[in-house]
Amino acid sequence: MSKLQAFLEYALIQKSTQDSRHLGDRSKYIGASDIAGCPRKAVMSRLHPVEQNAATLMRFARGHAAEGLVDSIFRAGGQNPKREVEVRHPKYPWLRCHIDFLFVGKNGRVHIMELKTTNGIPEAPYASWVNQIHVQMGLLEMSFPDAEIGGSILAVDLNAGQWHEFNNYKPNEILFEHLVEKGQVIKSALDATKADAVAPEPGLLCGYCDYCGTCPAHLDGACDVPEEVEILAQQYLETSQAKKECDNRLKKLKSDIYGFTGTRFKGASDALFIAAFEVGPSEAVDIKALRSRYPEVYEEVKSERAGYIRLDIKPRNAKAA
């Protein structure tokens, strides 16, 4: 690692500390994001904290950068939202949230906007996002019972330069009470310092969890696939099938066109240019034969190929391959 890289990683840690200073000591309270996500992770992250690597800290920094950008855009357009407003439960002060953007209208209407940075805008908001904003709206409603409260989630993809608002959320008393009860379960587990006192809730972010390797929901393939993951997997399966059908149709269309062009052709219509030509033969090395007949040469010229993640999805009633 170069001196510059070492310095940047050190500085990134300092920046992360500065960016999260407004949140206070997270070990002293349970936040909306804790309740919205997996309770086991919320407990484990406090009882067995893990030092975050540079990649994770960069993602955090990206989120803070997006907040600053969106804030400047709002202010350039004449809006002046309140930032990082802390709201506490009146009965359980250990339960609190920090609202990214709070808009207060002249008519007394109050609107919460939660900002999420993503790689690709999802078709629907993730369940944890929705739960988080319902915790925020519920806490805000308890503090301002006479206000008309609404909420939205702004998903931002900085790489693609895209954003999308999931809007029209209203406080839901039943859902809020359920989420508060979930917070109490987390609090009890923390007080007893027992991570196994809470059941995990598998979700889309399990792959990013530092504690996934020891999670009972993921051991020995015992995980029940969450509904939001099942929906995505079903869409993947349907898209894969559609791709196969498209590939087959392309092959048929190409064959039909070759029936006119043959193997050598150049021509044009008013809208298209068409060319067909032969590609000469090429050579390839038979790896199995090389390894079998000339193992010394094979060992000398071989190179490692990076591994990759393989995804297999098929219907439950599909025959084994």
Share of the chain above pLDDT 70, in %: 97
Residue 182 lies in a domain: yes
- Asked if the structure places residue 189 within a domain, the reply is yes
Domain contains 16: no
Instruction: Report yes or no on 49 lying in a domain.
Output: yes
Distance CA 77, CA 101 (A): 15
CATH number at residue 45: 3.90.320.10
Q: How many domains does the chain have?
A: 1
Note the pLDDT of residue 318.
53
Distances in Å between the Cα of 208 and the Cα atoms of 35, 202, 205, 213 are 17, 12, 5, 11
Question: Is there a domain that residue 71 lies in?
Answer: yes
Q: pLDDT at position 184, please?
A: 95
* Domain annotation covers residue 72: yes
DSSP labels, 128-155: HHHHHHHHHHHHHHHH-TTSEEEEEEEE
Residue 4 lies in a domain: no
Is 284:301 a contact under the CB 8 Å cutoff? no
Task: Indicate if the pLDDT at residue 70 is higher than 90.
Answer: yes
The average pLDDT across 5-19 equals: 81
Residue 68 lies in a domain: yes
Q: State what percent of residues in the chain have pLDDT above 90.
A: 51
As a whole number of angstroms, the distance between CA 59 and CA 42 comes to: 19
Over the stretch 235-288, which tens digit does the pLDDT of each residue have? 999 999 999 999 999 999 999 999 999 999 999 999 999 999 998 899 988 889
pLDDT of residue 321: 44
For residues 57 and 152, what is the distance between their CA atoms, to the nearest angstrom? 26
Element (H, E) at 15: helix 3-19
Task: With CA atoms as reference, report the closest residue to 190 among 50, 52, 51, 26.
Answer: 26
Phi/psi of residue 40, nearest 5 degrees = -65, -45
Q: Could you tell me the sign of the dihedral formed by the alpha carbons of 96, 100, 104, 109, in that order?
A: negative
Indicate the average pLDDT of the chain: 88
Confirm if 75 and 93 have CB atoms less than 8 A apart. no
The answer on pLDDT for 320 being more than 50 is no
Q: How far, in Å, CA of 62 to CA of 26, rounded?
A: 20
Q: What would the pLDDT profile of 203-244 be if each residue is shown by its tens digit?
A: 888 888 888 888 888 876 667 788 888 888 999 999 999 999
Domain holding 98, by residue range, is 26-196
The pLDDT of residue 106: 81
